[in-house]
Structures are given as C-alpha cells and as structure tokens.
Amino acid sequence: MKRKEFLKLSGAGVGSLLIPAAVISVISSGCGKNSGMGNMGGMSGSPVNINEGDFLQALPIPATVGASGALTPQATSATLKGSQVYNVFGYQSGSILGPTFRVSKGADVNINVANNLGEVSNVHWHGLHIPAAMDGYPTNLINAGASFKYNFTVRQRAGLNWYHPHTHMATARQVYKGLAGLFIVNDPEEAALNLPAGEFEIPLVIQDKRLADISLSYNPTMMEIMSGYLGDSILVNGKASPFHEIKSQTYRLRILNGSNARIYNLAFNNNQSFTIIGNDGGLLKSPASVTSILLAPGERLDILADFSAALTGDEIFLVNKLFGGAGTAQGKQEFKIVKFKITQKVNVTFAIPSVLSSVVSLTAAQASRTRNFDISNSGVMMQSGMHRINDKVFDANRIDEAVAANAIEIWQFDNSQGEEPHPMHIHSIDFQVLQRTGGRNGLTASESGWKDTVLVMPGEIVKVIIPFENNAGKFVFHCHNLEHEDDGMMLQYQLS
C-alpha cells in the first residue's frame, strides 16, 4: 500500500464479516495517532526483532509415517523453550507440528482427520496435485467433533510438500498456534541420485513465534495485519534455538518456511557455500551453488551442505542474513536459527551429480493467454479488506478465473506499485518462473525448475507459466503471508 495514500475504512457494519477482529477493534476505537492507523504512513509495518536463545535444546525430528495415518487437531500443551510449557494447537498430543508423511509417487493416501480442536478446521496439502474435494478448500470444513478422511493418489514427482489448515479467516491463527507438518514424496528419479539419507537427511521447519506469551495468543493489530504477524523467537521443528549433532560430511537439509509472514535470507555464519538441489516442485535440473538464498512463507528448499572441512567441536549456525527490498518490516536483523555441532570427524565424500532431474522448460510462446493480477494494493481500500488481488477479496460464491483443462497460461503478478512483499501460491499445480522485472530484476537460484509459490517483492512484476492439468474443480490462489490471506487476498479459479 502506498505510504502517501490514505487508507479509508468506512463503515465496519456492511463489510465486517470479512474484516479480521483486530481491524474491527481498531476501526471502532477511532483513527487517531494512537489507534494503530495514524496517517497510515509506512504501511509495510515495523520489524520485530528476534531474541536469540541459548541453543541448548536438541533438535527434534518429527516422526515419519507412511501413506495411511491419522491426524487429530486439538488444543494441547508443549515445551517449546527450555522447560516452559505452552498452550498450543497440535495434530497430536504434547506437540506442535504433525508427523512427516513419506510416500512414493503413485501411492494411494488415506488419512483420517478427527477434529478435536473445538472449532472448525480442515487440511490443505500444500504442493500436492489432488482433487478439489481433497485440497482443503477454505469453506470445506470439518466441524468440531467431526471427522473427515482424505483419500487421494500422489501423482507428482519427488519433492518436499507440507500440510496445514486452510480455514478462511482462521488459517493464520491455527497455523501460528501449531498446526502444520511435512509431506515428502519420493520417486525413482530421485532414488537414482543416492542423495544423503537417514540421519544425513534433516527436515527443518522454520517458524517464528512470540514466546513471552505461554498461550501463543494470536491478536494481531491492524499494522500487524498489514505487514504480517512476526514472532520474536525462532523455532525449528517446534523447538526454540535448537542444536543438532552432526559428522563432518555432506548433509541434505529439507527446509520449509512455515512462518506466517517472516521471510528468511538463509546462509551459514561461516559464509560457506551450499548447493541448492530442489525447491517447492522437487529437484532442479542441475545444482546451484550459493552462499545465501531468500525463502518466503510457504516456499521449500532442498540443499546439500558440505561440512567436511569442519573439525570436531566446531559449531556452525544456519542464520538469517540482512536483506533489503522487502518493505520496512523485513530483513532488518541478522540472527541465528539452528546450531550444527560437529561431534565426529570422518572421511566421507559425496559427489554432487551435475544433472539432477529431467525438467523441460516452457516458453512464453506455448501460452494460450496471459492473465494479469494487480497485487500492489496501492489504491484506496474500502470496508472489506486491505489486501486484495485485482481489487477483489475472497468470495466463495464467485469464480474469478475460468481456465480450460490442459491449457498453458502465463499469470503475471504485478506488485510494481506496492510496498509489501507477497509470496503468491497457486493450489494444485506447479509452474515455472519466466521473468521478474523491477526490484531484484531477475530469477534467483531457487526459482528454476518447478514451483508452487513465488515471492513478489515491492516494485516487482513476476510472470509464471502454468501447464494446467485436467484436474477439474474449483481451487484458490492467494498470498501466503497468512495475515494477508485471511484479510481476503485470495481469489479462485475454476478448471474445466
């Protein structure tokens, strides 16, 4: 939203069903300088600094299950930092996060979800190409005390996916309080590479929480809805500031940014390079060596980190580096995320394959049409939502885009006049990033191959090319800053 423009929120009555409670509270209290609105300057918010912990807690590894299982969303308690017990949501008792599902391509999945949460919820299988009835559509809800069985066949290539609630206007709160988990797909192409596995394949779910409040209360102010709800502590796999003991060899790190809104510029504190081998949509065509990479909410990263030069007793941290171009709330602090402690010096080498996967690049000439989506939110906003796509907020009764089955299209996300970053996610498909103009003015090392979420910074226009399948149904696309999504920054397309 442009700093110089006045945000006009008139009459909370008619549009209040679409306005988060925190916004209604601010509106009703007036728009003076202490209301959280003021003159609405600096609409991308203020940074929330991270309090680094002591890195004395062992990194937990979520339990791995197969294609059949059960999830029980519930209010429970968990120790997130030291011995302090927090009131959280979990897919199992005593923990935030759920088990990691690991399945092979072609597997039939059967997962029963028994909702003991005390409120409606559902599950979206982020990254999976599945029927609309199984996708976790925002109004396909599981009532409190009820159950629903998700049945689908895994049809896509190997990759790191995840699951979380997708309940309209409650997604951000339910995810923040603990409901999320990983879903890994394997296939023969990946297996042929003999990548590090077992103890040498480490999942890392990175999230930020506010740990001063043992109830993990979720009450964003209006400005926090504008920028996204940022935590003051970093959790990895559900523990604050953890450490993990490793050997001096190459590890495969499977990383999810499971935060509501925080973007990370991932690097190692010793500035060692690492190799990106995959992203949201699985393996890249060829590896890419970098020393840092941005990761937005909803995005995943598959990297190889070579610790062979380390000595016994060395400590190496995965950190967030400073970065710019993401508004006033993001990238302003460097902090540590997780500590790797070398406990054994070994002589094990791993040769990274020069070719990882077969990826056919699509060209603009193959697209039958281009659709433009203005995500700048630079105009005067009225009543129902501060975050919009093409000046529209989510309406389950309205089809925004009609797409023909098996069509190839270009979708352009235009944030050229915006001041906030928007990670844009499209359900049930993968796409390729064609072009970025403005801002960073090019693709990053993790944006080759296939993706389902792309970060569009302020001042940027990003074009993606999408080969739609014949998976008929109604699906959503939205900003994966969860506060923006719940505020209405979500439209839907009908594939037929």
For residue 379, give the nearest of 387, 371, 367 by alpha carbon: 387
Neighbours of 346 (CB within 10 A): 12
Q: How far is CA 283 from the centre of its chain?
A: 18
Q: Which residues pair with 1 in a beta bridge?
A: none
Predicted TM-score (pTM) of the model is: 0.92
pLDDT at 25 over 70: no
Give the pLDDT confidence score for residue 34 in this predicted structure: 32
Q: For residues 299 and 206, what is the distance between their CA atoms, to the nearest angstrom?
A: 11
pLDDT for 384 equals 55
Mean pLDDT confidence for 451-479: 98
CA distance 344 to 314: 10
Q: Which residues pair with 373 in a beta bridge?
A: 413
Give the three-class secondary structure for 105: coil
pLDDT in tens, 171-197: 999 999 999 999 999 999 999 999 999
228-265 burial: b if 16+ Cβ within 10 Å, else e = bbbbebbbbbbbbbbbbebbbbbbbbbbbbbbbbbbbb
For 360, the 3-state DSSP assignment is coil
**Interval 237-248 mean pLDDT:** 98
- Name the burial class of residue 322, with classes exposed (0-12), middle (13-18) and buried (19+) by CB atoms within 10 angstroms of its CB: exposed
Average pLDDT over residues 106-126: 98
Whose structure tokens read 């003021």? 38
Q: What residues contact 228, with CB distance under 8 A and at least 6 apart?
A: 45, 260, 261, 262, 297, 329, 481, 482, 483, 484
For residues 410-422, give the mean pLDDT.
98
pLDDT category of residue 149 using cuts at 50, 70 and 90: very high
Does residue 7 have a pLDDT over 60? no
Encode pLDDT of 257-310 as tens digits.
999 999 999 999 999 999 999 999 999 999 999 999 999 999 999 999 999 999
pLDDT at 220: 96
Q: What is the mean pLDDT of the chain?
A: 91
> Measuring CA to CA, which residue among 207, 208, 203 is closest to residue 302?
203
**What are the two backbone dihedrals, phi and then psi, of residue 423, each rounded to the nearest 5 degrees?**
-80, 110
| Higher local confidence (pLDDT), 378 or 124 | 124
Tens digits of per-residue pLDDT, 67-103?
999 999 999 999 999 999 999 999 999 999 999 999 9
Residue ranges and CATH numbers for the domains of the chain are 64-191 (2.60.40.420), 198-212+228-344 (2.60.40.420), 364-495 (2.60.40.420)
Q: Is 290 exposed, middle or buried (0-12, 13-18, 19+ CB in 10 A)?
A: middle
Please write the tens of the pLDDT for every residue from 319-360: 999 999 999 999 999 999 999 999 999 999 999 999 999 999
Q: Does the structure show a pLDDT above 50 at 5?
A: no
pLDDT, tens digit, 9 for 90 and up, residues 365-413:
999 999 999 999 875 454 458 899 999 999 999 999 999 999 999 999 9
Which pLDDT score is estimated for 379? 57
Please report, rounded to a whole number, the percentage of residues in the chain having pLDDT higher than 70: 90
Q: What is the pLDDT of residue 43?
A: 60
CB neighbour list of residue 193: distance below 8 Å, 6 or more residues apart? 283, 353, 356
- Give me the pLDDT at residue 12, please: 31
Answer whether residue 13 shows pLDDT above 50.
no
The answer on pLDDT for 216 being more than 60 is: yes
